Amino acid sequence: MPRSKPLSTEFSFTLPRGLIDDQERLHRKGMMRLATAKDELLVQSAPSVESNSAYGCLVMLSQVISRLGNLSSVSPALLEQLTIRDIAYLREFYNRVNQTGNAHLSTKCPHCQAQFAVELNLSGEL
């Protein structure tokens, strides 16, 4: 039986615009881990989500983003400062890594039929 590759649980990303902190530093590169059932339970019980269900997205993203630039912790309040373009990117990236377990798509060369993986551009990427 062939060995399967170990499941990646963290994925790197680069925001289209990024976050500028209080010291005027730009944070665009980050890491996101796979979501867990515990993350989902935390989102559902968060007081901010109980009063406004739309806030659930920011709470979930704050749980699964393990790093953004030099920032090792990310809060929903910090994510509120991102542009809509960056939030849309993070939501799409979150869906991709949690549904397929990676940010790549398997494909085949139409000329030589060789199989390979490509990383698709997410909305907002060039």
What's the confidence (pLDDT) of residue 105? 57
pLDDT tens-digit map of 7-34: 668 999 999 999 998 899 999 999 999 9
Q: Each residue's pLDDT tens digit in the chain (126 positions)?
A: 555 555 668 999 999 999 998 899 999 999 999 999 999 999 988 888 888 888 999 999 999 999 999 987 899 999 999 999 999 999 999 998 888 755 555 667 777 888 766 655 554 444
Indicate the helix (H) or strand (E) that contains 61. Answer: helix 56-64
What's the confidence (pLDDT) of residue 124? 44
> Long-range contact list for 81-85, CB < 8 A, 24+ apart?
81/19, 82/15, 82/17, 82/19, 83/16, 83/17, 85/16, 85/17, 85/124
What's the confidence (pLDDT) of residue 120? 53
Helices (H) and strands (E) in the chain, counts: 5, 5
